[in-house]
Chain A
């Protein structure tokens, strides 16, 4: 632990106030989301506690606001603050899982392509190139659309969360694969790998326990920056109405609902989830930028 506090990384972290603030914001977001069921003032999914009388209450600081509902209520009388906390939980979870998924796929493909070389390499990288030709949001939409057409509606509602995670994850793997392949190509010819080969280790073992640890640090940076991207993708899909099921509204779903009430003057239903989304994504982005600079010795 002491080694960590003495390290360059900790030093560069403390030195940048923007990074410290964004780390705090990210921490608040994660805690607020993860423990939503304990600290949220209301349970937006408890139908018994919902009162239609309380629908469309503005935030508490406005003239007609109700101090019970700090950020106001939506069309069904749900407390916005609680809905945002529960929504952030879905958004973060989908984001994390999607990033883990694309990291797993991308790192595996990149390692195999870079280490094996030859035909396997050109085939895998060709696939990655073709997919990179298309923006990932389009790939995600398409995957979601195909699954929607392939499975019956009732089944789809149950697996919708996994479909979204899969769609976003699969749309982002080429980035990881390319980076890992690049570093693997460099590592492959180093002496320690040759030594491992000489003592007769299997390629699988060399890739996993020798090459992999040495190509992970750029992956960490991409994964962080990708997290904000995955959160945004999920929000976009849900906003378009094809993401997470309506029974588990994410921030994107909340904004979609709020969008319908923009013209009747209930701006808070769309804007507060929007602000939560921006804060979350911005802080993750800033952390990722900092991590990239801190891990890049060239910039020091």
Chain B
């Protein structure tokens, strides 16, 4: 178990290295922080002094090492656009994005898995056909369009739910939560559905095809021959074996939920990290982009690691295989 974890962490290191290299290269070579900070009037001496102060006259690897050192301490410099520390900006907006992502992931799992099981078991019922058509539309609908349609129906026409912002938030230490107020919860509904819908349809289709695959295998036939009730065949034998790919995909989907949060947050003007990022892309605000890239890389690497560990927990074959020294 220990060596497994260590080897996975060692595999993650090159990814982090490459990402921080890209991130640093953006910092160092794209845009010109010196001219931005100096403004219009400056002497050559001032310019050289600033270059020296920023450490831009040092060799590449010294700069890179410093960058990594600073990044490890959560220090990414000032945003060009807002002139505030990047770390502060991101910390301020992280809770909004995380709460949204968690809600969306819950929706997609809690609705997607049962729907997948149902359509896998009762392939020819009209409800299954309906759900499958619905899922095809879900895959073809871009996230932002789902958001716009939901806003149009539930905010503009029906007036039931708010269409932008987070509602009232409660500060718990540095974390601002929208879960504790009614307006916060109401504001969560539309963005969470928007963000979760694509993942929901993907998970549903995946569970369905896995379920159909497993139901064709020999051990299910044996279980039937042994006279086990359907319930125990479906849930005790079949479902368990569909879980491995579902865990992988669900884990990786969590990553894309965070990526698509950029779109959802733009549609709903949700004050999270994604909105910050897209505003930074528009304004070519490199420090924020670099920091966001690093942060996302950490999140993704962690998710992949956790998925691998879950594999290990769910699939006994991996454990046996290791024990025999493969």
Q: Which residues of A approach B to under 8 Å, CB–CB? A: 126, 130, 133-135, 137-138, 141-142, 144-146, 148-150, 228, 232, 235-236, 239-242, 255, 259, 262-263, 265, 267, 270-271, 274, 277-278, 281-282, 285-286
Contact = CB atoms under 8 A, between A and B. Distances in A.
B323 interface: no
Per CB-CB distance, the 7 closest pairs between chain A and chain B, nearest first, are A149-B284, A145-B281, A135-B259, A282-B140, A135-B256, A149-B31, A138-B259
B31 A282 contact: no
Contacts of B26: 146, 149
Contact of A141 (B148, B156, B278): B278
Nearest to B17: A130
A111 B116 CA distance: 37
A18 B137 CA distance: 14
A133 B304 contact: yes
Given A149-B284, A150-B31, A240-B266, A130 B18 contact: yes
A144 B281 CA distance: 8
Contact of B148 (A130, A150, A241, A274): A274
B262 A133 contact: no
B293 interface: yes
Given A137-B260, A270-B148, A263 B156 contact: yes
Contact of A236 (B144, B149, B281, B282): B144
Given A130-B18, A138-B259, A271-B152, A277 B296 contact: no
A124 B277 CA distance: 29
Given A133-B301, A138-B259, A144-B281, A255 B289 contact: no
A282 B31 CA distance: 40
Contacts of A145: 280-281, 284, 289
Interface of B: 14-15, 18-19, 26, 30-31, 136-137, 139-145, 148-149, 151-152, 156, 163, 255-256, 259-260, 262-263, 266-267, 277-278, 280-282, 284, 286, 289, 293, 296-297, 300-301, 304
Contacts of B281: 141-142, 144-145, 148, 240, 242
A267 B156 contact: yes
Contact of B145 (A134, A150, A262, A274): A274
A138 B257 CA distance: 11
Given A133-B297, A135-B260, A255-B148, 13 more contacts: A133-B304, A134-B297, A137-B262, A142-B293, A144-B281, A148-B282, A150-B30, A235-B144, A240-B281, A242-B282, A271-B152, A274-B149, A278-B145
A254 B210 CA distance: 39
Contacts of A135: 255-256, 259-260
A148 B145 CA distance: 25
B137 A282 contact: yes
B20 to A, nearest CB: 12
A286 B286 CA distance: 40
Count chain B CB atoms within 10 A of each CB in A130, A149, A240, A262 and give the residue with the most: A149
A236 B284 contact: no
A228 B140 CA distance: 8
B262 A278 contact: no
A236 B145 CA distance: 9
A255 B144 contact: yes
Nearest to B145: A274
21 contacts: A126-B14, A137-B262, A137-B263, A138-B296, A146-B30, A146-B289, A149-B26, A149-B286, A149-B289, A228-B140, A236-B144, A239-B266, A240-B262, A255-B145, A255-B148, A262-B151, A262-B156, A270-B148, A274-B148, A274-B149, A282-B137
Contacts of B260: 135, 137
A281 B198 CA distance: 15
Contacts of B15: 130, 133
A271 to B, nearest CB: 7
B136 A240 contact: no
B142 A277 contact: yes
B172 to A, nearest CB: 30
Contacts of A285: 136, 139-140
Contacts of B136: 282, 285-286
B304 A148 contact: no
Given A242-B281, A262-B148, A281 B263 contact: no
B200 to A, nearest CB: 17
A122 to B, nearest CB: 12
A277 B145 contact: yes
Contacts of A142: 281, 289, 293
Given A135-B259, A145-B281, A274-B148, A236 B143 contact: yes
A281 B266 CA distance: 22
B213 to A, nearest CB: 13
A144 to B, nearest CB: 7
A263 B31 CA distance: 38
B109 to A, nearest CB: 18
Contacts of A239: 142, 144, 263, 266
Contacts of B31: 149-150
A277 B143 CA distance: 12
Nearest to A279: B140
Nearest to A139: B259
Count chain B CB atoms within 10 A of each CB in A126, A135, A144, A267 and give the residue with the most: A135
A259 B145 CA distance: 10
A233 B149 CA distance: 19
Nearest to A259: B148
Contact of A278 (B140, B256, B304): B140
Contacts of B289: 142, 145-146, 149
Nearest to A228: B140
B320 to A, nearest CB: 27
